[in-house]
A = this chain, B = another copy of it.
Amino acid sequence: MNRERILSTARALFAEKGFDGFSMRELAQQVGMSPSSVYNHFAGKEALYLAVMEAVAQQIRAEVYQRIEANTPEEALHELVARKAVFMGDHPDMARLVQWVLLDTSERTRTIMQSVWRPEIEWVLDRMRQLVPDEHALILTHHLFGLLLHEFSGRFAFSALPEAAQVSYESDAVSARVWSTVICRIRELSQ
């Protein structure tokens, strides 16, 4: 359906250039229709943005969080990191989309954080609280998301540095190093 093509093109553009980085005209051209046809499917750029974010979150819920089976909170978080690494490796635009939201200071961001990303954060937080004292759980949750996001969203910029060529971006490698850093601190705090 055309609506889906608009959504997926918009997703790529929002990820690459951010909300203000491209025009509805550019989007329409890439989709292969006139700008006004786009407006027939979405009320405007903002509505399109929210729709993209909602679709992305739904995909994550289905492909990442669904059916995580684990005997302990630690296993659950470990599995989550592994799946996220795979998912973000398969969808390189994901981390960038989220980072744009985090940087955006408009009202859009509040909406998206509360209604779209909140469940994810709660999911991690719940498990983290079972592993470390309450006052550290939120920080470690932030660190977990921060490291994962940074690994992926900073990739383009860091590729400008010669040293970066040595780093492996295989999902397994990313997952392993992020988890190593986080679990090390978790263990320290849970003693």
Residues of A at the B interface (CB closer than 8 Å) are: 16-18, 20-21, 96, 99-105, 109-110, 113-114, 118, 121, 125, 135-136, 138-140, 142-143, 145-147, 149-151, 153-154, 156-158, 160-161, 163-164, 166-167, 177, 180-182, 184-185, 188
Instruction: Let me know if A110 and B160 touch, CB within 8 A.
Output: yes
Please indicate the chain B residues that have their CB under 8 angstroms from the CB of A167 in the complex.
Answer: 138-139, 142
**Could you say how many copies of this chain the assembly holds?**
2
Q: How far is the CA of A182 from the CA of B20 in the complex (A)?
A: 35
Please indicate the chain B residues that have their CB under 8 angstroms from the CB of A149 in the complex.
Answer: 146, 150
Q: How far is the CA of A139 from the CA of B102 in the complex (A)?
A: 23
The A contact surface, by secondary structure, is helix
Interchain residue pairs with CB less than 8 A apart (18): A18-B18, A18-B20, A18-B103, A20-B21, A99-B103, A102-B158, A109-B160, A113-B157, A114-B160, A121-B161, A121-B163, A125-B163, A143-B150, A143-B181, A146-B151, A149-B150, A181-B181, A184-B185
Please indicate the chain B residues that have their CB under 8 angstroms from the CB of A110 in the complex.
Answer: 160
Instruction: Let me know if A160 and B113 touch, CB within 8 A.
Output: yes
* Beyond known contacts A100-B103, A105-B156, A143-B181: 6 more, CB 8 A cutoff: A99-B103, A109-B156, A110-B160, A113-B157, A146-B149, A184-B188
